Structure formats: structure tokens, C-alpha cells
Amino acid sequence: MIIADSFPMSPGNAITQSFMSIPALLLDFPRPSSPEHTAAARHLGRQWPVFWQVGNVFFRPLSMLGFIGYTIAAVTSPSGRWVAYTIAAAAHLVTIGHSAVHMQPINEKLHALGKDRKDDDEAAVDMAAAEPMTRRWARLNLLRVVMPLTAGTVALCETMRH
């Protein structure tokens, strides 16, 4: 049975973002007390939609496809084999839920850093939190490495076993 999964791509993207792209964005990021901080935070906010686009447009559908594929495999598998595919589906479901609950609010705040301040709602953006918020996003993104890797490994082992 062939199962659609983002096994090699999704963890690779998460590793690239957390360990390469974000450190590059934050390289020499000025302290909040620096006069250059606001401009750097605004620049970070203008760059952030690229991260969101990659995650939302490309990897979200892959994760959903992985979840659906593993769920179908679990339901249609002979007795005893459904457990591994259920674990794989659950790993993708955890990733999807984690992205929506924990990461999306940070995405919105980071994106808001780059917007022009024209109304009262946007005036509440905390520019001083730009760097710590971005580092938090990178740490939370590590779950997007572990879960697809777990899903793919468990499903591959089960598939190879039979």
C-alpha cells in the first residue's frame, strides 16, 4: 500500500526554518533599546509572510494528505496492522492541531510587525517582542520535525514488516 506522506519534506522544511532561516533573520538583531530595533522588527514582519506561505500553502496540504492517507490505511488494514497507521495518523493530527493552536497566533503577531500602523488594533503590536517571539516560533516548530518523522518511521516499519 502506498501512503501519501510528507515524511522527508516536512521535517526537512522545519529543520531548515528553525536552524537556518530564522537564525539568519535574527543575525545581529538589535536590542529593543536600540534605535534600529523598530526598523529591524518591521523588516522581520515584512519577511515573515514567506514562512507562512511555505507552511500554509505547501506543507499544510501535505500534512492533511498524510493524515488522511494514514487514516485510510488504518481503517482498511488487516487486523493487527491498523495500530501503526493509527499512530502515524495521530502524529499528523498532533502536528495539524499544534500548528493551529500554538503557531498560528505567533504567525499573526509576527506578520503584524511589518504592517503600517494605521488603526488602533495594529498599534498594540509589541515590537520589543519580535526576537523572542521568533525564537519561540522556531522552538515550537521543532514538533513539526518530530511528528512527521515519527509518522513516517512507524508507517514505513509497519509496511516493511509485511
Q: Which of 13, 9, 47 shows the shortest CA–CA distance to 27? A: 47
Q: How far is 101 from 95, CA to CA, in rounded Å? A: 10
The per-residue pLDDT for 5 is 45
pLDDT tens, residue by residue, 85-103: 999 999 999 998 998 999 9
Domain boundaries, the chain: 9-26+34-161
Amino acid at 11: P
Sorted by sequence, the CB contacts under 8 Å of residue 66 that are 6+ apart come out as 3, 4, 5, 6, 7, 10, 88, 89, 92, 148, 151
Which segments of the chain does DSSP mark as H helices, in order? Answer: 9-16, 22-26, 37-53, 60-76, 82-98, 104-113, 130-140, 143-161
Q: 7-11, 66-70, 73-77, 143-147 — which is least confidently predicted? A: 7-11
Q: 43-52, 74-83, 112-121, 129-138 — which is least confidently predicted? A: 112-121
- C-alpha cell of 68? 488522511
pLDDT tens, residue by residue, 24-41: 999 999 999 999 999 999
Q: How far is 99 from 73, CA to CA, in rounded Å? A: 24
Return the DSSP state at 78: P
